[in-house]
Amino acid sequence: MTSIFSLFGHGIFLLALILFIVQAKRWGKYWPLAYVLAAIMVVLPVKDWLVIEFSRGYFSDLSMTTIIMCSVYIMNVAGARRLTSSNELKYSVLALATVLYPLTLGLSMLDPYALGFSSHSFYPLMVSSLAVIAFVAWYFSVWQLALVLSLTLLANGLSVYESNNLWNYLIDPIAVIMCLVSLIYGHIGSVSKKFINKINDKVQSDV
Amino acid sequence: MITKIKKIFVPLLIVIGLALSLSKEQFDEPLFWLDTSLSKAVPEQQAKLSSFKMMPVPTKAVHSATSVELRNGNLLAMWYGGSREGHVDVALYSAEFNTSKQVWSEPKKVLDRYNAANDLNRYIKKIGNPVLIKHPQGPLVLVYVSVSLAGWATSQLNMALSYDDGQTWHASKRLVTSPFINISTLVKNDGVIYQDGTIGITAYHELLGEFSEMVRVTLDGEMVEKYRMTRGKNTIQPTLIVKNEKEAFALMRDSSRSIQRAHYADTQDGGKTWGEFEALDVQNSNSAVFIFNDKKLRSWMVYNDQTRDMEHSRNNLVLAVSNDEGKTWKNVYYFENKELNQDLAEKFAYPWVEPTTNGEYHLFYTWSRKEIKHTVFNDAWLETLL
């Protein structure tokens, strides 16, 4: 059962990745074709494995953050709603990663990852804190953050993956990379937009 | 419509998720289980020291042997073999030592990367170190390393059970031990059993930081908790001696590039927390060490003694004894290269000692990556070294 959920997550991730690589947003009315092509590539056999099995082998089970962000991107390509991942979610993920990863990679004797196991004495506090943050995010209409946190709690409670640790449902390096790239890309975009607007204003005033 | 879903659906998810997360199984604080079968008195013995070669080994290269005593008194050994370390053709092999006839069975393949991939539903690039643990409830537990991404630093742990003393193995399960795409947890040395039946795997981490940790799992392969033993960049491959239900000490291989010494750490609470680790006056050349107790609770260590030949530091294998629970060690016997006259290119590494209920100790180690050497000695022989 855990394999089904995990492979489903990797399917979404690969679909988003392929749609991004082929720049399906630019395919206009042919975007469904991009979806079909991407879906076929996800289950293509390469040597003795499927592409999706390589993905699972390399990246392990994907966090709810990654799945939600990839889902948002897939929906964005389809154009059904002009959705983008929220900056609140991205900054939260980056802040968490800044603390979690250096410590879990051996910076000190403190291992925050251990807090995510249900037998750890701080686990109830950690789970309750996440629920409170999720409620606050929901109250202030930060929907994506609220959805990620609620799905994390649900997936962890149901142990839908092999992992028994809350952190694995919440965050992974792919989510961190996506947030980082997205924020940098967004920042460059806004700076270049301002620059172009400035030039346009100057040209118009000269005319 | 979507706004309504958001307003009702999201808080509902939070409440259900919180309730389910808080209802997950919780385990008691760790208390070591003590194997009393090994401390039972045995009849008076003659000093014994004998060696066997586990030949013919079916592969060009072999490494990292592990062993357990079976219910019938025989020994099951396991190791990995292939064209070379890390090659895609590497598989786990096992053989059984008949203690009454004193012969080894033909080695047989236990699993390769394809078997592991089938069990785990994912791509597996290579497999590595196996560790066998005998569980008091009956089954043999196999914990082994597999890699999908790159080198050994991206290893992941898997676990399989055998209820017929290693004749067949149930499907492997993946142990998720890290938030970093679950990479960089390895094993080399013996594990411990806790009083609630959970297993303490002596693991270590190798990506950026190199440190030791205890990975606590149930017999079903469910992670219970993880306890950090050290931090930083140079203490790996912990090996443990349990003193009582709460106390144990561990020695660790020094993986630094500077002056290399075995490291020591101890715990007073069943391995949940560990004291600050310290370097011992034991020069060890970034190679595995293994410690075990004899029936009189003296501590013994098998390791490569770096003081004899800095350049060819794995060119010997020595037995050392400690009378102060692992703080100071004295070399008492060289299993390999006693006179320091063998071919210096030969390497003897990755020791594993399996004490058995008949008062013997079975030492296994890699002999120049070509074969696994098996040496048997007993308490009476150990007494002669003191």
Query: Tens of pLDDT along B42-63?
Result: 777 888 888 877 656 788 899 9
* Cα(A113)–Cα(B333) distance, integer angstroms: 43
The beta-carbon neighbor of A168 closest among B114, B179, B231 is B179
pLDDT band at A143 (very low <50, low <70, confident <90, very high): confident
Percentage of the residues of chain B whose pLDDT score is greater than 90: 61
Q: Which residues of A touch B17 (CB under 8 A)?
A: 131, 150-157
Instruction: Tell me which of B165-174, B181-190, B335-344 is least confident.
Output: B335-344
Chain B, residues 25-84, CB within 8 A of chain A, namely 25-27
Q: Which residues of A touch B223 (CB under 8 A)?
A: 117, 163-165
Phi, psi of B260 (to 5 degrees): -105, 125
* Cα(B59)–Cα(B257) distance, integer angstroms: 31
Percentage of the residues of chain A whose pLDDT score is greater than 90: 43
pLDDT at B13 over 80: yes
Q: Which residues of B touch A144 (CB under 8 A)?
A: none
pLDDT at B308 over 70: no
- Residue B368: CB atoms within 10 A of its CB come to 17
Nearest residue on chain A to B118, alpha-carbon basis: A49
Q: Which residue has the higher pLDDT, B41 or A124?
A: A124
Q: Which residues of A touch B224 (CB under 8 A)?
A: 117, 119, 164
Q: What is the pLDDT of residue B93?
A: 95
Q: Which of A96, A150, A161 is most worth mutating to test chain B (most B CB atoms within 10 A of its CB)?
A: A150
Beta pairing partners, A134:
none
pLDDT band at A175 (very low <50, low <70, confident <90, very high): very high
Phi, psi of B70 (to 5 degrees): -85, 170
The 3-state DSSP class for residue A122 equals coil
pLDDT at A194 over 90: no
Tell me whether residues B226 and A114 touch, CB distance under 8 A.
yes
Q: What is the pLDDT of residue B255?
A: 85
Q: Which residue has the higher pLDDT, B310 or B264?
A: B264
Q: Does B3 touch chain A (CB under 8 A)?
A: no
Tell me whether residues B176 and A164 touch, CB distance under 8 A.
yes
Q: Which residues of B touch A174 (CB under 8 A)?
A: 181
pLDDT band at B315 (very low <50, low <70, confident <90, very high): confident
Tell me whether residues A49 and B227 touch, CB distance under 8 A.
no
Q: Does A136 touch chain B (CB under 8 A)?
A: no
* Cα(A115)–Cα(B299) distance, integer angstroms: 34
Determine the Cα angle at A190 with ends A187 and A191, to 5°: 85
Nearest residue on chain B to A109, alpha-carbon basis: B231
* Cα(B41)–Cα(B295) distance, integer angstroms: 8
The beta-carbon neighbor of B211 closest among A101, A106, A154 is A106
In chain A, how many H helices and how many E strands?
A: 9, 2
Task: Give Dmax over CA atoms of chain B in angstroms.
Answer: 85
Interface confidence, given as ipTM, is 0.88
* Cα(B224)–Cα(B202) distance, integer angstroms: 14
pLDDT band at B8 (very low <50, low <70, confident <90, very high): confident
Tell me whether residues B123 and A127 touch, CB distance under 8 A.
no
The beta-carbon neighbor of A150 closest among B14, B174, B274 is B14
Question: Whole-number mean pLDDT of chain B?
Answer: 89
pLDDT in tens, B20-34: 999 999 999 999 999
Q: Does B211 touch chain A (CB under 8 A)?
A: yes
Instruction: Tell me which of A51-65, A181-195, B90-104, B173-187 is least confident.
Output: A181-195
Q: What is the pLDDT of residue B311?
A: 65
pLDDT at B215 over 90: yes
Determine the Cα angle at B203 with ends B67 and B362, to 5°: 20
Q: Which residues of A touch B179 (CB under 8 A)?
A: 100-101, 104, 113, 116, 165, 167-168, 171-172
Nearest residue on chain A to B228, alpha-carbon basis: A109
Tell me whether residues A173 and B181 touch, CB distance under 8 A.
yes
Tokens 């390497």 appear where? B347
Rounded to two decimals, what is the model's pTM? 0.90
Determine the Cα angle at B72 with ends B69 and B74, to 5°: 45
pLDDT at A119 over 90: yes
Q: Which residue has the higher pLDDT, A60 or B342?
A: A60
Looking at CA atoms only, how far is residue A105 from chain B in angstroms? Answer: 5
DSSP string, A123-143: HHHHHHHHHHHHHHHHHTT-H
* Cα(A92)–Cα(A106) distance, integer angstroms: 22
Q: For CA atoms B127, B128, B134, B137, give the dihedral sign.
A: negative
pLDDT at B3 over 80: no
User: In Å, how far from its chain's centre is CA A152?
Assistant: 12
Instruction: Tell me which of A4-13, A154-163, B331-340 is least confident.
Output: B331-340
pLDDT band at A3 (very low <50, low <70, confident <90, very high): confident
Q: Which residue has the higher pLDDT, B285 or B364?
A: B364
Q: Does A114 touch chain B (CB under 8 A)?
A: yes
pLDDT in tens, A69-96: 999 888 887 775 566 778 888 999 999 9
Tell me whether residues B17 and A118 touch, CB distance under 8 A.
no
Nearest residue on chain A to B113, alpha-carbon basis: A48
- Calculate mean pLDDT across residues B320-336: 92
pLDDT band at B151 (very low <50, low <70, confident <90, very high): confident
- Calculate mean pLDDT across residues B152-162: 93
Q: Does A144 touch chain B (CB under 8 A)?
A: no
Q: Which residues of A touch B24 (CB under 8 A)?
A: 118, 156-157, 159, 164
Evaluate whether A58 touches B123 at the Cβ level (below 8 Å): yes
Looking at CA atoms only, how far is residue B24 from chain A in angstroms? Answer: 6
Q: What is the pLDDT of residue B139?
A: 95
Tell me whether residues B122 and A53 touch, CB distance under 8 A.
yes
**A28 Cβ neighbours under 8 A, 6+ residues apart:** none
Tokens standing for A75? 């929906």
Tell me whether residues A114 and B225 touch, CB distance under 8 A.
yes
Q: What is the pLDDT of residue B341?
A: 63
pLDDT band at A23 (very low <50, low <70, confident <90, very high): confident
Q: Which domains are seen in chain B, by residue range? A: 33-384 (2.120.10.10)
